[in-house]
Structure 1
Amino acid sequence: MTIAFTICSINYLAQARTLGESLAATNPDIKYFVGLVDRLEGVSFDESYRPAFPLVEIHAIGIEGFQEMCDRYNITELNTAVKPFYFTYFFEKYPEADKVIYFDPDIIVYQPLTHLLQTLDTHEAVVTPHVCTPIEDQKTPNELHHLNTGVFNLGFVAFKKTAQTEKYIKWWEEKLRYECLIALCDGLFVDQNWMNFLPLFIDNTYIERDPGYNAAYWNLHERQFSVDQNGIHYVNEDHPVVFFHYSGYDPAKPAILSKYQDRFELSERQDMQPLFDIYRNSLIRNGNEYYRRFPCCYIKPPKVLRYQRVRKFLKKRVEYLIEKIDTI
């Protein structure tokens, strides 16, 4: 049995529904879940916006110290920090599941995941690198950005259930419990930099370089897209697009390919327009504007979170200075 899951708060359920629809159409044998970093208690959805996929609320998976994580993290950090805990939950809750795949909610799966599942038959983990070839300019993102934010993109990762992967996931849990921060000066970018250790800690890790996997704004310099008469999307002429990652795309600003990059304008990349038309229409149909109105119940306003972080830093600084004075 194979499980695929995503993680989001209620405000991103349009993306999660779009991903789920694409998996149901292309991989009906894979069981799909939404890990919900939010609470449904007291929330009433209009009938047409009730998700058709199981929602696993974060409080139900039993993370020790979860409230402290909520106090520590913003919404992006919190949604990424719980990722390994969901892997543990699915492996334990569904012992028949020998393979578990994570996708970011802003992904569409376009093809059966046959090759990925075959790879997991012989490997314990699969990841995709941000880039496979050099970048010839200094625009954003380039290789320096990827050194800061991680060699691999954690919008996708897949594990086979083994003693070694379970041990790695437990290690990852403890790192993300406290150190899933957007703090580039400290060498941290949410969960991604920790994944640099995966091929070192698990020898049998497969690095998937097929350009049809995890195509996104960070690797468009090495990928060109086309669609044939049957509606099948290809990258670099002969590789089917397996899944496309629409990171940073806002359907309310359809001309902007991604808010996180300045290398390409969508108007200059007409090869990608069909892929983005599909995504924009899917998000609108699945209630993007509707779900955006729901604030995450676990997240404090940014000013309060900043105050807490500054207070924590000053407390540590005072403790350090007192310790230094005591040694004089």
Structure 2
Amino acid sequence: MTLAFTICSINYLAQARTLGDSLRQTNPDWQYVIGLVDKLDQANLPASLLPDYPMLEVDQIEIEDFAGMCDRYDITELNTAVKPFYIDYFFRNYPDATEVIYFDPDIIVFQPLTQLKKHLGEYNLVLTPHICQPIDDWLIPNELNHLNTGTFNLGFIGLQKTEESNRFVQWWKKRLVNECRIDLCNGLFVDQHWVNFAPIYYDKVWIEKHPGYNAAYWNLHERQFSQKDGVWRINETVDLQFFHYSGYGIHKPQEISKYQNRFTFDARPDLVPLFEHYRQCLLNNHNETYRTYPCFYIKPPKMLYYQKVRRALKSPLNALISALEK
């Protein structure tokens, strides 16, 4: 059995439902679970807002220092830090699951992922790099940006349930308890930099360069999109497998992503139908209502601001800068 999951707080349930709907259509034999970094009994969601997918709340997966992680992390860091803990939970508690696959909630799957299943029968891990071809300008994101954020995009990872992949998960868990931070000065960008080591430390790691996998704003320079007979194609050669709508917001529909300035929809009309489809899916799945729910585990913004200032001042680099300025 293949188990696919995502992780989000209630404010991202529209995205998680949209991902689940796409998996149900394209890979109906897979089990899909929403890992919820939130408290349903505190949110009191009406029945109409409860997804038609199982939700596993984070306080049920036995994270030893979860309270400390809540104190240390903002909502992005926390939702990212618990990823290997969920994988570990699924390895231990879902004996029929031979593969565990993580997708960020802001992904739509467009095809049966048969090649992924094949590779997970041969390899312990499957990873996708941010880019597969050089970038020839200095717009954002460029190669320097990817050096800061990691070789691989961890909005997706596939794992065969093996002893080797479990060793990787246990190592990854230890790193993310304290070091799943957005702290570029200290070489950290949530969970992603750590996985740069995966192909070095662990055996049988497949680096998936198929252009239909994890298509997103960071690799648009190497991928053109077209649609024929209802099937999305990339570079007119391969089918789009899944698209990652990272940084897209329906309240700024003119922006491909808030994290890039290389492309516009005027310059890339091939993308317009893909994003119009996604926007409508989010609206249909109650995005406007979900986004009003604050995460139970996250402190108010003012407290988080002072927490991050204190953390920054503990950085050796920042301490040196402060000393030189005096």
TM-score of the pair, normalised by structure 2? 0.95
Structure 1 residue 309: Cα displacement: 4.0
- Equivalent residue, structure 2, for 1:124: 124
Residue range with higher mean Cα deviation, 64-73 or 265-274: 265-274
Q: What's the CA shift string for 1:74-126, capped at 9, x where partnerless?
A: 00000000000000001111011110000000000000011100111011100
Whole-angstrom CA distance in 1 between matches of 2:150 and 2:285: 31
Partner in structure 1 of residue 288 of structure 2: 289
Q: How does 1:197-212 map to 2 (within 5 A)?
A: 197-212=197-212
Does residue 233 of structure 1 match 2:232?
yes
> 3-state SS of the aligned residue for 1:196?
helix
Deviation at 1:251, TM superposition (A): 1.1
Aligned pairs for 1:277-316 (under 5 A) are: 277-311=276-310
Amino acid at match of 2:18: T
- Equivalent residue for 2:219? 219
| Contact 1:35 1:57 survives alignment (8 Å) | yes
Cα distance in structure 2, aligned partners of 1:315 and 1:223: 42
Say whether 1:265 aligns with 2:264. Answer: yes
Aligned partner of 1:251: which letter? I
What residue is the counterpart of 1:243 in the other structure? Answer: 242
Q: TM-score, normalised by structure 1?
A: 0.94
* C-alpha distance in structure 2 between counterparts of 1:74 and 1:284, whole Å: 26
Structure-2 change in CA distance of 1:122 and 1:265 (3 Å): same
Q: Which residue of 1 aligns with 2:174?
A: 174
Decide whether the 8 Å contact of 2:186 with 2:315 is kept in 1. no
Distance 2:303 2:42 in 1: 24
Task: Decide whether aligned partners of structure 1 residues 226 and 41 sit closer, same or farther in structure 2, where only a CA change above 3 A counts.
Answer: same
Aligned-pair CA distance for 1:301: 1.7
TM-superposition CA deviations, 1:251-304 (whole Å, max 9, x none): 111111000000000122111111111100000000110100100010012321
Q: Is the 8 A contact 1:74 1:302 kept in 2?
A: no
SS at match of 2:41: coil
Amino acid at match of 1:238: T
Partner of 1:326: none
* Partner SS state of residue 32, structure 2: strand
Q: Is the 8 A contact 1:107 1:243 kept in 2?
A: yes
Offset, 1:305 = 2.0
- Offset at 1:238? 1.6
How far has the Cα of 1:224 moved from its partner?
0.2
Give the partner amino acid of 1:303. K
**In structure 1, C-alpha distance between the alignment counterparts of 2:310 and 2:189, rounded to whole Å:** 22
- Helix, strand or coil for the counterpart of 1:32? strand
Structure 2: which 5+ residue stretches go unaligned? 320-326
Q: Which residue of 2 aligns with 1:151?
A: 151
Matching residue's letter, 2:50: R
Further displaced range: 22-31 or 43-52: 43-52
1:1-328 aligned at under 5 Å gives the runs: 1-228=1-228, 230-311=229-310
How far is 1:236 from its partner? Answer: 0.6
SS in 1 for 2:42: coil
- Aligned to 1:215, what secondary structure does the other structure show? coil
CA shift, 1:50, in A, is 1.7
- Which letter maps to 1:277? E
- Residue 315 of structure 1: CA displacement? 7.6
Q: Is the 8 A contact 2:164 2:203 kept in 1?
A: no
Opposite residue 294 of structure 1, the aligned amino acid is: Y
| Deviation at residue 307 of structure 1 after TM alignment | 2.1
Quote the Cα distance in structure 2 between the aligned partners of 1:267 and 1:38. Answer: 38
Does structure 1 conserve the Cα–Cα contact (< 8 Å) formed by 2:37 and 2:79?
yes
* Residues 313 and 274 (structure 1), Cα distance of their counterparts in 2 relative to 1, 3 Å cut: closer
Q: Using a 3 Å threshold, how does the CA distance of structure 1 residues 311 and 256 change in structure 2: closer, same or farther? A: closer
Give me the CA root mean square deviation.
1.4
Q: CA deviation at 1:49?
A: 2.0
Contact 1:75 1:299 in 2 (8 A): yes
The alpha-carbon distance between structure 1 residues 16 and 252, as it changes in their structure 2 partners (threshold 3 A), is same
Is 2:225–2:271's contact at 8 Å kept on the other side of the alignment?
yes
For 1:247 and 1:313, the matched residues in 2 are separated by: 26
Distance 1:175 1:94 in 2: 24
Q: What stretches of structure 1 of length at least 5 have no aligned partner?
A: 321-328
* 2:232/2:239 contact within 8 Å kept: yes
Structure 1 stretch displaced more, 39-48 or 248-257? 39-48
